[in-house]
Amino acid sequence: MTESTDLTRMTAARLASVVATGDASAVEVAQAHLDRITAVDAAVHAFLHVDTAGALAAAGAVDAARAAGGAAALGPLAGVPLALKDVLTMEGIPTTCGSKILEGWRPAYDATVTRRLKEAGVVILGKTNMDEFAMGSSTEHSAYGPTHNPWDLTRIPGGSGGGSAAAVASYEAPLAIGTDTGGSIRQPAAVTGTVGIKPTYGGVSRYGLVALASSLDQAGPCARTVLDAALLHAVIAGHDPLDSTSIDLPVPPVVEAARHPDVRGMRVGVVRELTGDGYQAGVQQRFDESVALLEELGAEVVEVSCPHFPYALAAYYLILPSECSSNLAKFDGMRFGLRAGDDGTRSVEEVMGRTRATGFGDEAIRRIMLGTYALSAGYYDAYYGSAQKVRTLVTRDFAAAFEQVDVLVSPTAPTTAFKLGAKLDDPLAMYLNDVATIPANLAGTPGLSLPIGLAPEDGLPVGLQVMAPVLADHLLYRVGGALEAAMLDRWGAPILDGAPAL
């Protein structure tokens, strides 16, 4: 049997192989990661709920199936542990979305992503921390306390999916699921030195994903390598009749692209509007080095202008709150979750008001109010309508750019991980963390964040973003895989073993 510490350091692809060959059982793999969670999660706080019994039972089922000769029916990630963002439902398991208003809710059904993971034999360890209802860029807006970056426990792990990224970065899980509304997979990946992918909108089912902004939300993989992300992508992707926005087309060949990455002959566009001013010097330096490396690998690199990208942030923060105010209206204390002030003497309206005031945090209330205002009579066209017009212009920028190049690249986030609390009192400064990732959500295009080294001024991870045309998700893995392989000898990936925090 392999030592537990070795099991937690293996890639998902390697763990799947170890389980398949019998070098370690799925139960041993699950237990090793549960032990790791016990050892470090008090400091990291990546998890809101650890399902020890469920994980060991699922792992035992994988081992039993293999022993009975049923290995052929299991998926390529059978027996591999995973951390699930607490915005996806899992039957009988607490699902809070990082909010007090859903405290104690145990869904009666699985999200499609959850069901597909179970069917593939993936072992779900538990639910990860997040900004409340996925509203935030630092996981400080969770009602259950912040998650800490494994590189430096005084810093943020990104958001809203900081729990998923931190679980992967701290070796508590080799894989995780995040959701990306404006960068909530990619930005945490960038600041934790992990790989994160937002698939094409509609490429992964949203059924059972508690909605923040229905036209923007997208679930996707978090991992430590490009291949691991591709293997997970293939498991969760595909058409779902339960989701009206699900695309009824074949899943792009993401695993093949990750296994055989090559950028020779590709045209790579550097987005002029997403570099330079406003970007930390070390972030820009590592990005420039990576672009030069792509040229060395045989890609043709050109500068591309997307003139409406600078307006994407403002448009997003009208569209998202508007959809948020509508989607979160159902959390009123009447059907499930928290009910506050119901002493038998108050009206339904009073109980609803007290429940929402008590159950929602400051950021959720801020965005609900913004969205309600933007949708109100007399302001709809001026705010929400105008934002949708900007969205169209951003989408046209992408279309024009992809007539010239195969993929676009930029830094994923303008800075490395900042200190916990540094931007809590300045919402606009917090929102600017998503300036580079938001355009892809507005247009529905896929995006990947890849770790490209450490910023020289603070020794913290930097991410490079790759964006591809709609349904060309495989190009993300082709570029990301080639760059990852070329950089491996340069700086090592990942290099968390020496992180002072753990």
Q: Active-site residues: which are they?
A: 85, 160, 184
Helix (H, G, I), strand (E, B) or coil at 125: strand
Q: How far apart are CA 12 and CA 254, in angstroms?
A: 16
Query: With the CA atoms of 399, 267, 436 and 324 taken in that order, what torsion angle do they form, in degrees rounded to the nearest 10?
Result: 40
Residues near 462 by beta carbon (within 8 Å), at least 6 away in sequence: 190, 282, 283, 286, 287, 411, 416, 451, 452, 453, 454, 455
Residue 477 token pair: 């893995």
Residue 254 token pair: 């993401």
Q: How far apart are CA 13 and CA 21, in angstroms?
A: 13
Q: How far apart are CA 197 and CA 181, in angstroms?
A: 12
- DSSP bridge partners of 268: 301, 407
- Cα angle at 95 between 160 and 184, to 5 degrees? 15
303 phi and psi angles, rounded to 5 deg: -90, 135
What does the buried/exposed string (b/e) look like for 142-154 if buried means 16 or more CB atoms within 10 Å of the residue's CB? bbbebbbbbbbbe
- The candidate with the shortest Cα–Cα distance to 267, out of 399, 402, 397, is 402
- Residue 436 CA, distance from chain mean position: 15
Residues near 170 by beta carbon (within 8 Å), at least 6 away in sequence: 36, 40, 41, 44, 46, 150, 496, 502
- The candidate with the shortest Cα–Cα distance to 325, out of 360, 354, 276, is 360
C-alpha distance across the termini of the chain, in Å: 25
Q: Which amino acid is at 277?
A: D
CB 43 within 8 A of CB 148: yes
- Residue 341 CA, distance from chain mean position: 36
Secondary structure string (H, E, C) spanning 304-348: ECCCCHHHHHHHHHHHHHHHHHHHHHHCCCCCCCCCCCCCCCCCH
409: region left, alpha or beta (phi > 0 left; psi from -120 to 50 alpha): beta
Q: How far apart are CA 412 and CA 137, in angstroms?
A: 13
Q: From start to end of 423-485, where are the E strands?
A: 447-454, 461-467
Residues near 488 by beta carbon (within 8 Å), at least 6 away in sequence: none
